[in-house]
Amino acid sequence: MRTSPNIIITGTPGVGKTVHSEQLAQETGLHHLSINKVAKERDCFDGYDDELKSHIVDEDKLLDAIEDDVVKGGYLIDWHACDLFPKSWIDLVVVIRCPSTSILYDRLSSRGYDETKLQENLDAEIFEVLLEEARQAYDEEIVIELKSENDEDIESNCSRIAAWIDAWKQNQAQAS
């Protein structure tokens, strides 16, 4: 039985997944697992998408690369997708949202996204693609949606998730 939970922090690029994950790692002691970094460091790619100017991740190779660590618990899994991770690994799925398309547009523009990639990500946010993906892949009671448009949202979200982690750990301790 795990003594620390695994939490997916997901959402469209630019919503604040990494900021939330880094802050939560500092506050809770859980490990920030940036899937983009893992994919690069362990060469989990299966080609390159020229139109979107991004690597295509080999999901099987990625899962093999992280499985031994993640099954032990204590990870904040930071990535723009969530449905590839087995249900048995995951205790909470946090979908970070930025409903203000003007804020998200500015964040993505500042990253140098070209118009095609920028529009695809804005559309994904508008149509709640990642929220729907999370709801289809995991039990409804473990999927939460949090807004991230400013620093106050980040503070509030991290406090809420940290409180959830504490409650999860207490429940695990009582159950054992």
Q: Which residues are annotated as a binding site?
A: 14, 16-19, 111
Q: Return binding residues for ATP.
A: 14, 16-19, 111
10 φ, ψ (degrees, to nearest 5): -125, 170
- Say whether 58 sits in a helix, a strand or coil: coil
CA 124 to chain centre: 15
Rounded Cα–Cα distance for residues 76 and 33 (Å)? 6
For 13-51, letters b (16+ CB in 10 Å) and e give bbbbbbbbbebbbeebebbbbbbbebbeeeebeeeeeee
